[in-house]
């Protein structure tokens, strides 16, 4: 079998302040023609740096290769000049990235951007390029083509933008497509569509794919060969079947077993802590000089459900399904219609002053802890802030004792973290800080909005374990929002499936996963199979 790329004993380093540090250490692997090789590992493992080396896209000269070769067409790509590598980029070897918005030019239409690639590398006329662009966009399944050709990137959804990027990457029938986390930012059903599309195009074009991911489950149905990276080394590589059926390295075993947490049974109270009745969140669509309302965006459309003490309720659905609007309404952060009873108190009828007292019992943890933590405050100041607002009578030394206790309870060492700032911590550590900030007030309800999606898979597992143990300890009720059905399956007791602002299915987690009634729910579950 012919290899498109052969990487041999490749080491990559960076120079800073007269110091040279290798971050990738003597790795070797082949990418055969028409096959998919997956590089899998956590952030910082060296996956992306390795991929960028193939097209010499690293920040040279601060980046360097202390050893190794990257062989393509009998040439070592590391030794060829810029003119030669530019001919290969975008034609023979192409790339698609995690976030297409950063790769697409917002000032040019989709048609113009793809046309430019075709004209640059194929030397064809603009009319010929336009005709081929239309065929490419049809091939990647972009709907409503006549309107999309003249669209700008910001006018498209995430899935549509990624299809455009794929069209651009296959425009010149490349030998190799490098896909760097191309589905991470997408909803699970869209993820599945993109993976199926890549598989289809690979078969049609007989191209090789280097697929980079932090999640083994994503590459399960796509890859032919898998290389597991950790700390700049390939610690295990083999066929997909052998990696999944008989992993050798403990780290590989950990990645495969990720999120398979067996939720420990916890006694759920028959009494609801939260009752939602006929909730509506409608946003008016206004037009004309007088800005008259002509219609409504029904973000949440007549929803009712209960959350019980000690229960974890999962809310799932794609972007635009109403998940975020729902939780913002539950927390009384946006206007809504309907009724909310929290701990038997009708929050729709209480004054702002009285609701402030309730606020400490309703806390939220966000997807990205870095953006939710003040960069100018130390860890202790961040966690203390809630106490200063809601527990003004507490003595300073008592607050410090509480802070120390909760920091240690979320798995951090108080003495090592209390006087440091958020940027000094990893993603998992920052999420633990966010959990500590929420729990310091001893809330009854904790809303978790995609709390693990920005984390590496092994860290996800740790955070889920932590949340489960804290729930048992403090008798917490959770509303857990996620597009990751594996996470939902592992931590929730009950599921609500949202689509276009409506509940289309709900029930006990085990029953929903074993016997989903709606096709939409089946698609969501299928995405993790």
The pLDDT assigned to 525 comes to: 83
Give the global pTM: 0.74
* pLDDT beyond 60 at 529: no
* pLDDT beyond 90 at 98: no
d(CA 92, CA 410) in angstroms, rounded, equals 49
One-letter-per-residue 3-state SS of 84-109: HHHHHECCCEEEECCCHHHCCCCCCC
Please name every residue paired with 6 in a beta bridge, in sequence order, or none if there are none.
30, 71
Spatial neighbors of 264 by CB under 8 A, at least 6 apart, are 468, 472
The count of structural domains within the chain is 1
* pLDDT beyond 70 at 454: no
* pLDDT beyond 90 at 308: yes
Please report, rounded to a whole number, the percentage of residues in the chain having pLDDT higher than 70: 97
* pLDDT beyond 80 at 511: yes
The count of other CB atoms within 10 Å of the CB of residue 132 is: 17
Query: Alpha helix locations (H) across 299-418?
Result: 323-330, 352-359, 369-372, 379-390, 396-409, 414-417
d(CA 238, CA 251) in angstroms, rounded, equals 15
* pLDDT beyond 70 at 264: no
In a domain, 426, yes or no: no
Could you tell me the residue range of the domain that residue 131 belongs to?
93-171
In a domain, 188, yes or no: no
Residue 382 in contact with residue 434, Cβ under 8 Å?
no
pLDDT level of residue 253 (50, 70, 90 thresholds)? confident
Judged by DSSP in three states, 85 sits in: helix
* pLDDT beyond 90 at 120: no
pLDDT level of residue 353 (50, 70, 90 thresholds)? confident
The pLDDT assigned to 383 comes to: 95
- 41-84 tens-digit pLDDT: 887 789 989 999 999 999 998 899 999 999 999 999 999 998 89
Helical packing angle, 126-139 and 158-170, nearest 10°: 130
Residue 180 in contact with residue 40, Cβ under 8 Å?
no
In a domain, 137, yes or no: yes
* pLDDT beyond 90 at 291: no
Q: Which of 381, 443, 436 is nearest to 410 (CA)?
A: 436
In a domain, 421, yes or no: no
* pLDDT beyond 70 at 473: yes
In a domain, 9, yes or no: no
Please report, rounded to a whole number, the percentage of residues in the chain having pLDDT higher than 90: 46
What pairing do the DSSP bridges indicate for beta strands 233-239 and 225-230?
antiparallel
The pLDDT assigned to 121 comes to: 82
Judged by DSSP in three states, 132 sits in: helix
Average pLDDT over residues 252-260: 69
Average pLDDT over residues 153-167: 82
Q: Which two tokens stand for residue 451?
A: 């709390």
pLDDT level of residue 37 (50, 70, 90 thresholds)? very high
Give the lowest-confidence range in 4-8, 238-242, 354-358, 523-527.
523-527
The pLDDT assigned to 296 comes to: 83
In a domain, 105, yes or no: yes
In a domain, 117, yes or no: yes
The pLDDT assigned to 92 comes to: 93
């Amino acid at each position: 079998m012919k290899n498109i790329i052969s990487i041999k004993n490749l080491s990559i380093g960076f120079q800073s302040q007269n110091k040279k540090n290798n971050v990738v250490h003597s790795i070797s692997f082949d990418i055969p023609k028409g096959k998919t090789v997956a590089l899998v590992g956590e952030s910082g493992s060296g996956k992306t740096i390795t991929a960028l080396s193939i097209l010499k896209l690293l920040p040279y000269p601060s980046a360097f290769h202390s050893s190794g070769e990257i062989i393509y067409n009998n040439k070592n790509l590391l030794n060829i000049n810029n003119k030669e590598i530019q001919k290969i980029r975008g034609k023979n070897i192409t790339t698609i990235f995690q976030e297409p918005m950063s790769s697409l030019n917002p000032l040019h239409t989709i048609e113009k951007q793809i046309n430019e690639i075709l004209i640059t590398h194929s030397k064809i006329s603009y009319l010929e390029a336009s005709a081929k662009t239309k065929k490419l966009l049809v091939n990647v399944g972009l709907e409503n083509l006549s309107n999309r050709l003249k669209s700008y990137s910001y006018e498209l959804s995430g899935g549509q933008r990624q299809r455009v990027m794929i069209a651009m990457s296959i425009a010149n029938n490349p030998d190799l497509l490098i896909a760097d986390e191309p589905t991470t930012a997408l909803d699970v059903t869209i993820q599945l569509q993109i993976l199926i599309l890549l598989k289809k195009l690979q078969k049609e074009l007989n191209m090789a794919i280097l697929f980079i991911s932090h999640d083994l489950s994503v590459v399960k149905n796509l890859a032919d060969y898998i290389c597991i990276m950790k700390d700049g080394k390939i610690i295990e590589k083999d066929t997909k079947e052998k990696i999944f059926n008989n992993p050798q390295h403990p780290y590989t075993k950990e990645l495969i077993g990720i999120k398979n947490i067996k939720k420990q049974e916890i006694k759920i109270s028959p009494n609801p802590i939260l009752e939602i009745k006929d909730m509506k969140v409608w946003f008016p669509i206004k037009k004309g000089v007088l800005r008259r309302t002509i219609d409504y965006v029904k973000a949440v459309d007549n929803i009712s459900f209960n959350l019980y003490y000690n229960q974890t309720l999962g809310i799932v659905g794609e972007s635009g399904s109403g998940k975020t609007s729902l939780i913002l309404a539950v927390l009384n952060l946006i206007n809504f219609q309907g009724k909310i009873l929290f701990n038997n108190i009708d929050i729709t009828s209480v004054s702002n002053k009285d609701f402030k007292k309730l606020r400490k019992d309703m806390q939220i943890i966000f997807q990205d802890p870095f953006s939710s933590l003040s960069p100018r405050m130390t860890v202790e100041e961040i966690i203390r802030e809630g106490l200063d607002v809601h527990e003004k009578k507490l003595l300073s030394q008592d607050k410090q004792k509480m802070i120390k206790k909760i920091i240690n309870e979320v798995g951090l060492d108080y003495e090592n973290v209390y006087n440091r700032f958020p940027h000094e911590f990893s993603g998992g550590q920052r999420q633990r800080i966010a959990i500590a900030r929420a729990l310091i007030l001893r809330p009854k309800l904790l809303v978790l909005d995609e709390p693990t999606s920005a984390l590496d898979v092994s860290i996800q597992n740790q955070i889920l374990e932590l949340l489960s143990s804290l729930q048992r300890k403090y008798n917490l009720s959770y509303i857990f929002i996620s597009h990751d059905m594996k996470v939902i399956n592992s931590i929730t007791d009950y599921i609500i499936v949202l689509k276009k602002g409506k509940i289309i299915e709900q029930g006990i987690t085990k029953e929903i996963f074993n016997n989903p009634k709606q096709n939409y729910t089946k698609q969501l579950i299928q995405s993790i199979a």
